[in-house]
Structure 1
Amino acid sequence: MSLNSKNPFLNNKTFSTTAVSKKDEVHQATIIDYNQDMTLSGTINKSLILFLLLLASAIVVWWLAFNGMNPIALTIGGAVIGLILVVIAAFKPQYAPFLAPGYALFEGLFIGGISAIFEAKYPGIVIQAVGATFVTFIVCLGLYKYKIVKVTEQFKSVVVAATLAIATYYVLSWVFSMFTSFVPVHYGNSLMSIGISIFVIVIAALNLFLDFDRIEKGVAQKMPKFMEWYGAMGLMITLVWLYIEFLRLLSKLNSKN
């Protein structure tokens, strides 16, 4: 994968200029509506559809959780299947029109379950995390739209390097904590742990700029129509990550009270 974006979708070579030459080949290989080019409005519409699907399934799990059902199975199942769909779409982006809605539905199970768990422990935390995610998205979109923040190659390199470092740290921490008595420093509510959460949120937010840039370039390069679903799915992945990190940070702050 290239280093254009850590997002597992938007760093795929499908968003490179070489993908344009494959457009006619993809048209012939599929029967989905690929006879049109990717547009910004189309990507926005697809993003809204995915958001509504995710919200719908999340609400179902939320309702079940607060009516006596343990949401753990749906939460884990949604996360695992959602990840599988992401991996498939990363290698087969032409199937994004089918995979993206499925991802939104299964990821909604995960979001609904994890949100219910956090809400039960810290009442009011979910609305705070949702609000923080929404505000962050709007601010980043505004900064990108008005060119206050420009996505240069150096910007990409720094954000991707930081994101890879975070991913590596999380994986190693999980492995060590599973097989040893090691307690990762981002656990608990210490100042160090809170500081790490803030740093991760900043990096997740910066990834939004990379996502906006990839989508804009996909439109400019006249990518095939299915890339609207692909781009929308990639953006949704980043927003889910950002929301989860806000939940983690707010839970640490609430536990100190």
Structure 2
Amino acid sequence: MNSKNPFFKTDSFKNATTTHEAVVIDYQDTMTVSGTINKSVLLLFLLVASAFATWNMAINGQNPTILMIGGAIAGLVFVLITTFKPQLSSYLSPAYAVAEGLFIGGLSAIFEVRYPGIVMQAVGGTFATFFACFMLYKYKVVTVNDKFRSIVIAVTAAIAIYYLCSWILTFFISYQPVHYGNSLISIGISLFVIVIAALNLFLDFDQIERGAAQRAPKYMEWYGAMGLMITLVWLYVEFLRLLSKLSSRK
């Protein structure tokens, strides 16, 4: 169960399962797919509810920047802690959903003001992609194996490094990253990143299913749900970026 998913890059599931195997008595106290789905729905509800706070601030002319930045930073901290301490996921995953909601709400409102209707399009694109990937995984059209995991994690890491380096360079030199703007190359990059984000959904589905099959402890349901939320947030943001580029060319 050595996953190549960025959030599941540690041996969290494997180690949790190994430790739990020696003490498990009640199978109701182990991870299940249905339990993970329920927790994913709860996290999504918390994220959306939290997003309304910064959304309303931005729509009503108030500046949500502090809450947005604070939410983004807090969300990153919660992810880093949970990655190495999955036992805390039952507490940190709801906190992550609330923090990330603050960021997403403000960001969405900013895009909506500039490009009316873009948020619903991005939401629709995100959930349509999620549903398509889920059906492809459920009916074994796409099979997750070691090669698939290795390729997806390698490309995902490359994207993260590129984004980070591009961002750092803008502080030191007059540099506009190629993915900025609305050029055809920039649009192509956004499409590529969306595809990679979608492929990460398959890793999430596989890891959740494998964790349940290995009877991981119950708290790993929160861990799996949090990993799924991370991918969905990434996918949504990338849809916002792509749609804004397309809208600006009109």
Normalised by the length of structure 1, the TM-score is: 0.93
- Asked if 2 retains the 8 angstrom alpha-carbon contact of 1:186 and 1:196, the reply is yes
CA shift for structure 1 position 26: 9.0
- Asked if 2 retains the 8 angstrom alpha-carbon contact of 1:119 and 1:126, the reply is yes
CA shift for structure 1 position 3: 7.0
- Asked if 1 retains the 8 angstrom alpha-carbon contact of 2:149 and 2:203, the reply is yes
CA shift for structure 1 position 214: 0.6
Task: Pick closer, same or farther for the CA change 1:45–1:154 going to 2, 3 Å.
Answer: same
- Asked if 1 retains the 8 angstrom alpha-carbon contact of 2:5 and 2:204, the reply is no
CA shift for structure 1 position 94: 0.5
Matched, 1:222 2:205: no
Q: Return the letter of the residue paired with 1:154.
A: K
CA shift for structure 1 position 4: 2.4
- Asked if 2 retains the 8 angstrom alpha-carbon contact of 1:211 and 1:235, the reply is yes
- Asked if 2 retains the 8 angstrom alpha-carbon contact of 1:97 and 1:226, the reply is yes
Which residue does 1:15 correspond to in 2?
13
Matched, 1:85 2:78: yes
Q: Return the letter of the residue paired with 1:12.
A: T
Q: Over aligned residues, Cα RMSD in angstroms? A: 1.8
Q: Return the letter of the residue paired with 2:11.
A: K
Corresponding residue SS for 1:179? coil
After TM superposition, which residue ranges in structure 1, 4 or more long, deviate above 6 angstroms?
A: 24-27
CA shift digits 1:41-95 (9 cap, x unpaired): 1000000000000000001211121112111111111000011111111111101
CA separation in 2, counterparts of 1:61 and 1:25?
Answer: 46
Q: Return the letter of the residue paired with 1:249.
A: L
CA separation in 1, counterparts of 2:146 and 2:124?
Answer: 31
CA separation in 2, counterparts of 1:25 and 1:253?
Answer: 55
CA shift digits 1:81-125 (9 cap, x unpaired): 011111111111101111011000010000001001111111110
CA shift for structure 1 position 6: 3.4
Matched, 1:182 2:181: no
Corresponding residue SS for 2:215? coil
1:48 alignment partner, one of 41, 52, 63: 41
How many residues get paired? 249
Which residue does 1:112 correspond to in 2?
105
CA separation in 2, counterparts of 1:60 and 1:25?
Answer: 45
CA shift digits 1:113-139 (9 cap, x unpaired): 100111111111000000000000000
Corresponding residue SS for 1:89? helix
CA separation in 2, counterparts of 1:176 and 1:243?
Answer: 25
Normalised by the length of structure 2, the TM-score is: 0.95
Matched, 1:201 2:200: no
Task: Pick closer, same or farther for the CA change 1:216–1:66 going to 2, 3 Å.
Answer: same
Unaligned runs of 5+ in 1: 28-32
Which residue does 1:6 correspond to in 2?
5
Matched, 1:238 2:231: yes
Q: Return the letter of the residue paired with 2:16.
A: A
Which residue does 1:248 correspond to in 2?
241
- Asked if 2 retains the 8 angstrom alpha-carbon contact of 1:20 and 1:223, the reply is yes
1:57-72 to structure 2, matched below 5 A, reads 57-72=50-65
CA separation in 1, counterparts of 2:90 and 2:186?
Answer: 39
